[in-house]
Structure 1
């Protein structure tokens, strides 16, 4: 019998979601308390929006965004990447995982997608499709 190592589902497993959320909270706490020995990183106010883990939990992609445009996203990602080893050590010490995941930092584009979704919903053609008249499918009850 073949042993399936990874689920064939399209989305992440419950374990991936749970570990991703634990990593997100840990990184948020570490960045909030300014525990990293880098004054440049400690001056930045960075939001950790989401963490997605690979199926084997060895790679964690961290989606970050500086708050209120205080610094450019590229600068924040560069500072986080520069301190990746220390951040990885903090995550490993907080969580009981077999392997400390490799952290990869990416810009969080959730807000950009949200703006695009709002723009689509405000389009008159889309509003027309959404606002269907009530009672089209109902019988008059004259039977």
Structure 2
């Protein structure tokens, strides 16, 4: 079985979860306040759904989605262009030995929930569930 780069065991450690949540809150606060020098990014409302941290806490992947789904193509690019400024903001707020390298991905959670709902509403699936 291949190892996942985010954890070696069955799931992330409590420390990874705790640091990920602290980074998520910090990123959310910075983005909500518009504290960035990029005017395009400051105008966007961005939801940070989750942050996954590597076991050594050196890489943090933030799963983001622009409010309303508008501008999905540009949001990840804009965040990546401003990752050094965001990294400094995270480092300033958190007392970690190293400021993690930030990576950004689109949050597909809502798409997956919609697909699950669609599957569960199929007649054949409902019939099987009722048995």
Shared fold (TM-score greater than 0.5)?
Answer: yes
- Deviant stretches of 4+, over 3 Å: none
Instruction: State the structure with more CA Rg.
Output: 1
Aligned residue runs from structure 1 range 29-48, under 5 A: 29-48=29-48
Matched, 1:83 2:82: yes
What's the Cα RMSD here? 1.4
- Count matched residues: 126
- Look up the SS of the partner of 2:34 in the other structure: coil
- Look up the SS of the partner of 1:64 in the other structure: strand
Q: What corresponds to 1:141 in structure 2?
A: none
Q: What corresponds to 2:61 in structure 1?
A: 61
Report the TM-score when normalising by structure 1: 0.84
Structure 1 residues without counterparts, runs of 5 or longer: 1-5, 133-143
Q: What corresponds to 1:111 in structure 2?
A: 110
- Look up the SS of the partner of 2:49 in the other structure: strand
Aligned residue runs from structure 1 range 1-143, under 5 A: 8-70=8-70, 72-132=71-131
> C-alpha offsets along residues 95-134 of structure 1, whole Å, 9 cap, x if unaligned?
01111000000000001000110011101121122213xx
